[in-house]
A and B are shown apart, each in its own frame.
Chain A
Amino acid sequence: MLIVDDEPDILLMLRVNFETEGYETIFASDGQTALERIAEDKPDVVLLDIMMPILDGWGVLERCRELDHRPLIIVLSAKAGHDDIERAHKLGAYEYVTKPFDPDQLVKIVGEALGRP
């Protein structure tokens, strides 16, 4: 899975949580790099932050719509407005999780999304 966030501590925290569940994780700190990793490594799931330099989460979502093999995208954001949630879903996000979140919950959501037990 691809974890995208410009906060290194959040990346670390998510990485540890998912790797202990057996996931293989790769990372990106901005939208541009995220798109590159999506194209090259074709992850199944993307945990996507919105507020990032160079290209933000919205930009990533938009570009992903045009891809053939679209990964499952879960948006992670501190913004909790209805408009944002709607916008994310309209752009094809699978789920919208607000920060701060419970890492355990996130693991469960990803598990369900991928059909894992």
Chain B
Amino acid sequence: MAGSGDHPDTPAEVRRAIQEQARIAGLRKFDKPSLEAIDKRRNQLWTAATVVTIAVATAFAVFAYLAPSDTDVDAIQQLFPWLRAVMVGTVAVFFLYLVEKELALRKLTKLLLDERVLTSALSNRLRELTALTDAAKAINSTLDLNDVLGIILSSSLGLLGGTEGSIMLVDEEGEYLDTYCYRGSADRYEPEPRIRIGQGIAGYVAANREPVVVTGKPDPKKFKDVPPKEAAIHSAMCVPLVSRGRLLGVLNINDTEGGRDFTDYDLRTLKLFADHAAVAIANARLYEKEKEHVAKLMEVDQLKSEFVATVSHELKTPLTSIIGAAQTLRRAKSRLDEGAREEFLAMIERQGHRLLRLIEDILFASKIEAGESPLKLEPVDVGAIAEETLRTLATRKGAERIILDFPEAGLQAMADPGALQQILLNLLDNALKYGGDTGPVVVTGEVRDEEFVEVCVSDRGPGIAPEDQEVIFDRFRQVDSSRKRRSVGVGLGLYIVRNLVEGHGGRIRVESELGQGSRFCFTLPRPRPEF
């Protein structure tokens, strides 16, 4: 708004000055002040000048040479100075008129040229801002990282007129820049896939978070270790992509054909754009992380549902015996003899305990999963616990096949006695149920190394297929048992065993071949020597 009459600043002021000069120059009102109109007007004036001059000269000539007789000469002689004065006056006035018009026309020309420059600059700016806004809209229209990167590149190239460009993103450790996306007008464009942060132009920008524009050879004092591809670029711009204080990567826009020398102004525009771009990239990345998170949550949810289904199934089995036995006792009491009644009461008790164990196992397992350890470790003799477990199993069918093989001197380990019993009980239960009907079930224990002892339960059953071996501890689903091979239980037993073993700090594994039986081995920590 500070423009004076001679140096108008705003388009409106320029316009007004133009109108003013046009008026002075005498351009017709409905002629748009333009350079053509100025020329026209100038021609008009010169034509008028010529005509007037000729007219005056002619009048003078006529007057001078068509002088009448002597009688009029005196009168004419008297009039002559006046005539001369009038003529000179007319010419002078007309001359001044011409000069005024000419000056106005020149000023007008200058103003029109100024206006043109201003308009051109403004329309350029407008074009840029529009392109910037469009691009910003485009990059925010998608959350797919690859799409976002592609749009950023095409928009930047369109905005700044480069021939090729690439986006590099920082890797996880923050040491390297990897090329994620590139665009080029030449087919052979292949940017460096990975550079170290600090290396070359892009590395410098990433390390210092400073936008740079380099035309010609990169200054070796500033840029270290420039890859040959980078050095060969005619004019290169590189800006950092920073979002919320974090460096995401860099954006490169290059001209390789020599058609453009990028300026600081171009760099500023690119930086403006890069700020938008960084936000979009950060959003896309966040979105991807969210999707991963959701998928994981859904997986956990799925596992939970499976778990619940398996658990309720497991619990219903002992309940069937308990409820069935109780109902039988009530209704068929008269028809049962003493022995049978005793048997049923024992069954209720037995299965009740089993149910209790199952519930405790599940609680134990979930506590361990949650990171709490309800186990109380103390030095125990594994052999003794194994014998105890065997006593619990005494009434089971096939229990007589179980053989214990422990060192004479005993085998010491750090364990929670109740938990260790659970582990052995579960493994033996499995062996009896699924490890075939014949052959011994052997429980061995021995020192493995300084830190651990190893206990194994083996059977001579049908064995476990390799693909099942991988999942039997992880999943708690029934493995499809429609083929003639060992099924791996109703899922919970081994899962619980693994949890208990790992809760002690040990590991469990299975060795098995189809037709060759199975061997479950787990380790327990040895007691530290007392000082």
Contact = CB atoms under 8 A, between A and B. Distances in A.
A53 B486 contact: yes
Contact of B335 (A14, A20, A51): A20
B482 A17 contact: no
A7 B321 contact: yes
A8 to B, nearest CB: 5
Contact of A51 (B462, B484, B485, B490): B490
Interface string B303-323: 000000000110011011111
Interface stretch (A38-46, A55-63, A64-72, A86-94): A55-63
**Interface size class, chain B:** 35 or more
Contact of A55 (B321, B323, B482): B482
Contacts of A111: none
A17 B340 CA distance: 11
B275 to A, nearest CB: 56
Contacts of B323: 100-102
Nearest to B319: A100
Given A10-B324, A54-B484, A101-B324, A16 B319 contact: no
A53 B487 contact: yes
B317 to A, nearest CB: 6
A79 B350 CA distance: 23
Contact of A7 (B317, B344, B485): B317
B324 A78 contact: no
A9 interface: yes
Interface stretch (B18-26, B111-119, B326-334, B418-426): B326-334
A73 to B, nearest CB: 16
B478 A51 contact: yes
Contacts of B312: 78
Nearest to B332: A20
A101 B344 contact: no
B481 interface: yes
Nearest to B335: A20
A78 B344 contact: no
A7 B490 CA distance: 12
A7 B325 CA distance: 14
B344 A99 contact: no
A25 interface: no
Contacts of A100: 316, 319-320, 322-324
B176 to A, nearest CB: 52
Interface of B: 312-313, 316-317, 319-325, 327-328, 331-332, 335-336, 340, 343-344, 347, 350-351, 396-397, 433-434, 462, 478, 481-482, 484-487, 490
22 contacts: A7-B320, A9-B325, A9-B350, A9-B351, A16-B336, A16-B340, A16-B344, A17-B328, A20-B332, A51-B478, A53-B481, A53-B486, A53-B487, A54-B484, A54-B485, A55-B481, A99-B317, A100-B320, A102-B323, A103-B324, A103-B328, A104-B331
